[in-house]
Amino acid sequence: MRAIYQHAASVAVWLGPENSGSSTAIQLARDLDACVSREYLVKLFRRQYWWRIWVIQEVSCAKTAIIYCGDEAIPWTTLDNVCEILKTVDYHLRSLFYARPSYIRTLTHGGPRALQLSRYSPHRTAPPLLELLLSHKSKKSTDPKDKVYALVGISSSQHTFGTIDYSLSIPEIYTHTARHIISTSKKLDVICVKQHDLGQYGLPSWVPDWTRPPPSSGAVVIGLHHHVPPYSASGNTLASASFLQDGYVLKTKGIVLDTIRTVCMPYHIPPRRPPSEVGPLLEVFHDWWNTFVASFSNSLSEQTRFARAISCGSWNFENQEEYAAKLEAIFALSDRLLSDSDMLRLDPPSRSSTMASSVEEKERLSAVPEAGLMMNRRRFFLSKAGFVGAAPWNAKEGDVVCVLLGCSYPVILRSEDDHYVLIGEAYIDDFMNGNAIDGLESGELVLEIFEIH
């Protein structure tokens, strides 16, 4: 039999009759084989159309939609279902794009999914305005005012927001938007939205600038609102908020947790840097780690606390050894790169490696860009009482760490004369899910009043 098969011009393999969509599966195999590049779908999902703010209404209000590209046409729902399918094979995507985690997000949340009315309430016909602003904060608009105005009419605020008035200035529109969201939701989550630090409109520190950052500013910060399940630093409390000085000063209540004692080097992913160049990231990682171990032990529980802090809780494992494995992977890669080359590049395993070692190597390599995405535009800090966390990259020693009533995330405030300035949200492992409110109810912590300019 061996000789017969060896000399056969071709061997026919019969899998049986058509069943369970086997014809579709065969066609899928042909289509996949025809894709000489793994990045075709990524490029399709990153076309300029998906980034336009006004097209959200086109799609959300349409009964049906057909996508045309060149000579091809495909129903909107078909392409959208592809995103859902890809989300279910997230593990395989991580294996393919271990050095480019942004590709994974493009495939699962980009393209047609990027124009989903709200990624938080996908089935609501008129979601809250903040959900829409967060879902589409990366969209482009010729007029910065449209980053708000293009969404009001399809939100639950369409009858309560007020007049759409283009004669108002951008600071007036953005500040009114923040006040409206706080007043109607009784939550302060909107004040934590930070896309960039351009300071281009002179906005109060608690009012988000909804304009898309320019490409020259590098990668944007991944906010804590992306975390699943959602954080709830203030428990079930509602905001105690009022507005002073014509509505430009936020007066609210909160709990002071501590003061920042030490800050580490900030990390920032600059524009157009190849993901394979990890030298700057490893340098910052070692600075954060050295600062940490100078004050704490190298025990498994402490390693867990450090790993959760640098990943802002996105590394979430039941077994503490998995956190240690992530850190060990970064250290092992760092040692290898430092000994192999001065360029510090994150390159794929050689083709000669076995499948098992290749998978293991990819897992190790993926830990670096995973950490980098959450470390971006942040810096590690230690508080006077020994809390550790990740704060905005412009936080500094002496800043105050707080949990404000009605705010899902701890925040960093800076005292200036008779008021405070909001620096931004912070990750503190011990205070992400209501612990501060427990301390308030037990009498260990006290409520204070803040005026934030």
Query: CA 326 to CA 315: how far, in whole Å?
Result: 9
DSSP letter (8 states) at residue 433? S
**Is residue 389 within a helix (H) or strand (E), and if so which, with residue range?**
strand 388-392
Yes or no: say if 75 and 162 are a contact pair by the CB < 8 Å rule.
no
Structure tokens at 96: 């393919």
In DSSP terms, which residues pair with 447 in a beta bridge? 255
Cβ burial, residue 254 (10 Å; 0-12/13-18/19+): buried
- Quick one: CA dihedral 130, 131, 133, 134, positive or negative? positive
Three-class secondary structure assignment of 140-207 = ECCCCCHHHHHHHCCCCCCCCCCCCCCCCCHHHHHHHHHHHHHHHHCCCHHHHCCCCCCCCCCCCCCC
Q: What is the pLDDT of residue 157?
A: 97
Mean pLDDT by 10 residues, the chain (453 residues): 82 85 80 70 89 87 87 88 83 74 84 86 89 93 95 95 97 98 98 87 96 83 93 97 97 98 94 75 94 94 96 94 91 75 45 46 74 94 97 97 98 95 96 96 96 98
Domain boundaries, the chain: 2-115, 129-261+392-452, 267-376
| pLDDT in the model for residue 355 | 38
Q: How far, in Å, are 182, 353, 381, 413 from residue 201 at the CA level?
A: 21, 54, 29, 20
| Coil vs helix vs strand at 60 | helix
Per-residue model confidence (pLDDT) at position 180 = 98
What is the C-alpha separation between 347 and 325, in angstroms, rounded? 20
Cα–Cα separations (whole angstroms), residue 180 to 150, 160, 195, 217: 16, 9, 20, 29
Q: What is the DSSP letter of 59?
A: H
CA 176 to chain centre: 26
Largest alpha-carbon pair distance within the chain? Answer: 92
- Look at phi and psi of residue 412 and say left if phi exceeds 0, alpha if psi is from -120 to 50, else beta: beta
pLDDT for residue 274: 67
Tokens at residue 28, please?
């899928």
Instruction: State the residue for tokens 């707080």.
Output: 402
Per-residue b/e over 110-149, b at no fewer than 16 CB within 10 Å?
A: bbbbbbbbbbbbeeeebbbbbbbbbbbbebebeebbbbbb
Among candidate residues 212, 281, 282, 224, the one with its CA nearest the CA of residue 412: 224
pTM: 0.85
Report CA-CA distances (Å) from 421 to 38, 141, 191, 414. 46, 29, 11, 5
The interaxial angle of helices 320-340 and 355-375, nearest 10 deg, is 100
